[in-house]
A and B are shown apart, each in its own frame.
Chain A
Amino acid sequence: MTASPQHRLPDGRWRAAELAIWLLPVIGYFAAPNYLLLGSQIFIVGLFALSLDLILGYAGIVSLGHAAFFGVGAYAAGLLASHGWGEPISGLLAGAVAAALVGWVTSFLVVRGRDLTQLMVTMGIGLMLFEAANKAAFITGGVDGLSGMVMGKVLGVFDFDLEGRVAYLYSVAVLFLVFVVLRRMVYSPFGLGLRGLHHGPKRMPAIGASVYRRQIAIFTIGAGVAGIAGALLAQTTQFVGLDSLGFHRSAELLIMLVLGGSGRLYGGLVGAAVFMIAQNYLADLNPVYWQFWMGLLLVLVVMFARGGVLGGLAALQRRFGTKTK
């Protein structure tokens, strides 16, 4: 018998399977040149799902309003670009900082309550920002969305092209860099402390760890990463719609994360990929039915497949192979 994963000491070495996953975007770039736009969408949403995984999968805060931070990042980067500051990297940072700031301020409200209250407060914050963006049409463009952005060249060299090659590479590069940093964080003592919050919120104070501070820290970081994802979407599509803040986006994000498997870093990425590809095919058939299948999928995952795709794979591995510990 092997110990369950969460009792293992952190082992930050890169595994072969991880490298294989990161080869996929490279293969995709050459093998499916017609799907580069979908590809960059997957990376952006994957990054967004990753940010939710930090606060949900690791710290155990249930959020139904995570799109708020995605939207803040998107509007921050979009507003910069439409007012003449088209440099992408600094726009990305601005999105991250703006979202992290909003995340930090709201985190004090969120971490006060328990599950249901957290759920309601995050949902309320999301709805409030949505209403604010809707009503402040003179800044955000309201329902028409924010457009008219002029993007500069990435690193001063690569111009965004129509086929989406640069957007693809830019998104995957940002995703990879952020991922590496977060991966390091998750395997650090701080990351271990987060797992502690999730598994034993009552015991953590007993060993002298402040639950409150860790929750605020991770919520802020998660918001910042969501902001990067939002900024990335604004820059690569050169448009920000109200839906980037909407409840649907928060709900879909939860679905992706659960589909992929939360608390595993890769869960969000896998979930986003599966979800976006399925959506791309099924929504073409009929958008209304797509929502039905999405709902059914969610119900089935909750009832029969907790842990999602990666959880299922891990269970298979435990069952059939003992070679990888």
Chain B
Amino acid sequence: MIGNFLGVLFDGVAYGSLLFLIGIGLSVTMGLMNFVNLAHGAFAAFGGYVCVTAMNQMGVPFLASLPIAFVLTALVGVLLERTLYQRLYKATPLDQVLFSIGLTFMAVAGMTYVWGPIQQPVRLPEFLTGQVHAAGMDFGIYRLFLIAVVVVVTAALVYVVDRTRFGAQVRASVDNQQAAAGLGINVNRVFALTFALGSGLAGLGGGLGIDVLGLDPSFPIKFMVYFMLVVAVGGAGSIKGTLVAGLVLGIFDVAGKYYVPQIGAFVIYALMVVLLVFFPTGLYGKKT
């Protein structure tokens, strides 16, 4: 029973850290530019497809395909940001939602056209499969790897945001865009770089997540709500909030599917509505 519970907790944490990794980019774009980007999942899916293509068609090893996914997705992200997204920063949330839904539909159709409608298989390298036995329990090695990657990425992110000049510019722009621009910070550049970083992380998450979340063209729509959820519950623009929200949602989702499979995804939606009713700006959101 206890072992069971710990197993569920462990899977939930692995799943939640994946949600965090993909969601953090969304959180930052929402906190920084107030942009409701429903197409964020499409970036994650794109990263996943980059991984699969690099591995299956070019024979790149799995670990090497991940940075490629990060870089390519970041490039696509910055391209779209400069050409399309930045025109809509001042638009109403409705316009942004419609625009990003449109983009999502186009991405889904485009991915179906290029990669076909089927689930993409992923062959993990030998050393990442299997289980380790510790303290009377079995842990999937890949899930441990996932958690480790997310810990490293989080540490790097916190370092960048808290300790570097660029991080200070980002924080200043989140707090008060006008004042930041007035102090000589090139807010547009900060926006573009953050967007690139956010979409790159989504792409990385998409690549890492193929084994856990699966990958087919409906990915951006299927998981849209999860990513939005992580951000809405965590509070836009907060790394800590996104992390907590990702873990909480991951654990509840896995636990709900394990203990009460007959009501399935209901648990997570109910949790979301309840959390949003009590914390309308998220757990760590900016007070407005």
Binding site for B on A (CB under 8 A): 56, 62, 64, 109, 112-117, 119-121, 123-125, 127-128, 131-132, 134-135, 247-248, 251, 254-255, 258, 288-289, 291-292, 294-299, 301-303, 306
Flag whether B110 is at the interface (Cβ < 8 A).
Answer: yes
Min C-beta distance of A120 to chain B, whole Å: 4
Min C-beta distance of B49 to chain A, whole Å: 16
Contacts A56-B94, A117-B232, A119-B93 given: A127-B225 contact, CB under 8 Å?
A: yes
Q: How far is B225's CA from A125's CA once the two chains are assembled, in angstroms? A: 12
Q: How far is B179's CA from A133's CA once the two chains are assembled, in angstroms? A: 50
Tell me if B101 and A254 are in contact (CB < 8 A).
yes
Q: Mark B56-90, 1 if CB is under 8 A from A, else 0.
A: 00000000000000000000000000001001100
Contacts of A131 in B (CB 8 A): 263-266, 269
The 5 closest A-B pairs by CB, nearest first: A298-B102, A295-B105, A292-B109, A295-B106, A115-B93
Q: How far is B108's CA from A112's CA once the two chains are assembled, in angstroms? A: 33
Contacts A109-B277, A112-B280, A131-B266 given: A295-B103 contact, CB under 8 Å?
A: yes
Tell me whether chain B's interface is mostly helix, strand or loop, or mixed. Answer: helix
Contact of A289 among B91, B109, B221, B266 (CB under 8 A): B109
Contact of B269 among A128, A251, A299 (CB under 8 A): A128
* CB nearest to A125 among chain B residues: B273
Total inter-chain residue pairs, C-beta < 8 Å = 127
Q: How far is B105's CA from A103's CA once the two chains are assembled, in angstroms? A: 28
Q: How far is B253's CA from A254's CA once the two chains are assembled, in angstroms? A: 29
Q: How far is B268's CA from A124's CA once the two chains are assembled, in angstroms? A: 9
Min C-beta distance of A209 to chain B, whole Å: 22
Contacts of A119 in B (CB 8 A): 36, 93, 97, 228
Tell me if B97 and A303 are in contact (CB < 8 A).
no
Tell me if B276 and A113 are in contact (CB < 8 A).
yes
Binding site for A on B (CB under 8 A): 30, 36, 84, 87-88, 91, 93-95, 97-99, 101-110, 112-113, 117, 221, 225, 228-229, 232, 236, 262-266, 269-270, 272-273, 276-277, 280-281, 288
Tell me if B88 and A302 are in contact (CB < 8 A).
yes
Tell me if A296 and B106 are in contact (CB < 8 A).
yes
Tell me if B228 and A120 are in contact (CB < 8 A).
yes
Tell me if A255 and B98 are in contact (CB < 8 A).
yes
Tell me if A294 and B105 are in contact (CB < 8 A).
yes
Contacts of A294 in B (CB 8 A): 102, 105
Besides A113-B280, A299-B84, 15 other CB < 8 A contacts? Answer: A113-B276, A114-B288, A121-B276, A123-B228, A124-B276, A127-B269, A131-B264, A131-B266, A135-B263, A288-B109, A295-B102, A295-B105, A303-B84, A303-B87, A303-B88
Q: How far is B36's CA from A306's CA once the two chains are assembled, in angstroms? A: 18
- Residue of B84, B98, B103, B263 ringed by the most chain A CB atoms within 10 A: B98
Contacts of B108 in A (CB 8 A): 291, 295
* CB nearest to A302 among chain B residues: B99
Tell me if B95 and A120 are in contact (CB < 8 A).
no
Query: 25 A-B contacts, Cβ less than 8 Å apart?
Result: A109-B276, A112-B280, A116-B36, A119-B36, A120-B276, A127-B225, A135-B262, A135-B264, A247-B221, A254-B101, A255-B101, A255-B102, A258-B98, A288-B109, A289-B109, A289-B113, A291-B105, A294-B105, A295-B104, A296-B102, A297-B102, A298-B102, A299-B84, A299-B99, A303-B84
